[in-house]
Amino acid sequence: MRIRQEDKDSLIDNKYIQDRKEFFSVFFAISAIFVVYGLLYILNDSSWTNTSASGYCEKVRENSWIREPTNTISNLAFVFVGMYILWLAQYDPTKGKPSLSTRSWFLILYGISCVAVGMGSFAMHGFNTGWGGWLDVSGMMMYISMPVFYNFSRFLRWSEKEFVIYYLSANVIFALLLWQYSLLTFLWGALIGIWISQELALKYQKQPHVIFLLPTSIILFLFLYTNPGKTPIDFILSEFEAILLWAALAFFLYRIEDIKLERTHTPYFWAGFASYFLATIIWQPSKTGGDLCNPDSLLQGHALWHILGAVSMWCFYKYFRTEKDNY
């Protein structure tokens, strides 16, 4: 039986898409979300209601679909990084232990979490609505919890299915909590502290004081920097639960089975850390009224925070792929 040329072309097209199914699935989802964003604006008489400026300096364009253009468009950096990771998935092996170096749900959800940050922050800065702000913080939780759950999956030998269930369930809970309560600072700080503790455990598992003190010191610095006028006592009072959590985590990591993972921190981990640290330094003075704030400028410090954040996501993706599993 002869196959017509148009049928051959169809088979080629289908194979092309199937070989890149992770990329195209998320691409179509992003396209649908942008259509929804546009329809919501049109159906609301081409306006956004119950809005409030984000507080990140840029002058709000009233009666516009995108109210903070630079702060909004810069979020496409997150989307680009996530989509590029999903595009590269076609070249990763499907066999072997599932990890961020294989074509697995670990890899897929890492890419999706990057995209979620960009799409959520796009809505927050673009529309200045309450639901846009909720999408923003929910996307942030999806990303920052990703390395935490990935590390636990490696240390505790979770299956790929267990990881997916625990990670997605936790993020549903985070999203519900953030809809009702202002818990972003607590959750963000706690998850960063847990992640740092996990990374330290790779080399200092039998030294729990190191695992506890170093992340506590880093989070203390970030707290004091992003909350001018606050003191270390304020940090202890406001983050007391998180401090107890890190202490318990240090003891837990000390007690579990010996961690038999190796990762190369240079250059990607340190590059990602430096990029995020620089972004944090820029973040505070880029807020409304800050030293770097110029509401009428197309160059916005908060947009640079987005771009540097996307760079750090890429660096951490490359870092996790240096892993050697010796279990």
Give the pLDDT means over successive 10-residue stretches in the chain (327 positions): 52 78 96 95 88 90 92 98 97 93 97 98 95 96 98 96 98 96 87 93 94 89 87 90 88 94 95 95 93 94 97 98 94
161-167, Cβ contacts within 8 angstroms, sequence gap of 24 or more: 163/105, 163/106, 164/105, 164/109, 167/109
pLDDT at position 13:
72
Answer yes or no: is 20 within a domain: yes
pLDDT at position 1:
44
* CA–CA separation, 186 and 177 (whole Å): 12
* CA–CA separation, 78 and 140 (whole Å): 11
> In terms of C-beta density within 10 A (0-12 exposed, 13-18 middle, 19 or more buried), how is residue 38 classed?
exposed
57-66, Cβ contacts within 8 angstroms, sequence gap of 24 or more: 57/286, 57/287, 57/288, 57/290, 57/292, 57/293, 57/294, 57/295, 57/300, 57/301, 57/302, 58/125, 58/295, 58/300, 58/302, 59/295, 59/296, 60/128, 65/38, 65/41, 65/126, 66/126, 66/127
* CA–CA separation, 36 and 30 (whole Å): 10
Three-class secondary structure of residue 9 per DSSP: helix
pLDDT at position 71:
97
Answer yes or no: is 2 within a domain: no
Answer yes or no: is 162 within a domain: yes
Three-class secondary structure of residue 310 per DSSP: helix
pLDDT at position 5:
55
Answer yes or no: is 1 within a domain: no
Number of domains in the chain: 1
**Range of the structural domain that residue 249 is part of:** 9-325
* C-alpha pair distances (Å), 69 with each of 1, 115, 208: 57, 19, 46
pLDDT at position 10:
53
Answer yes or no: is 299 within a domain: yes
pLDDT at position 23:
96
Answer yes or no: is 168 within a domain: yes
Name the pTM for this structure. Answer: 0.91
* C-alpha pair distances (Å), 88 with each of 21, 85, 183, 311, 319: 11, 5, 35, 16, 15
Query: In the numeric block, which tokens belong to residue 203?
Result: 């080399």
Answer yes or no: is 54 within a domain: yes
pLDDT at position 25:
96
* C-alpha pair distances (Å), 103 with each of 33, 106, 160: 25, 8, 12
Q: Which residues contact 85 (CB under 8 A, 6 or more apart)?
A: 107, 110, 111, 114, 314, 317
Answer yes or no: is 3 within a domain: no
pLDDT at position 174:
97
- H-run or E-run covering 262: strand 261-262
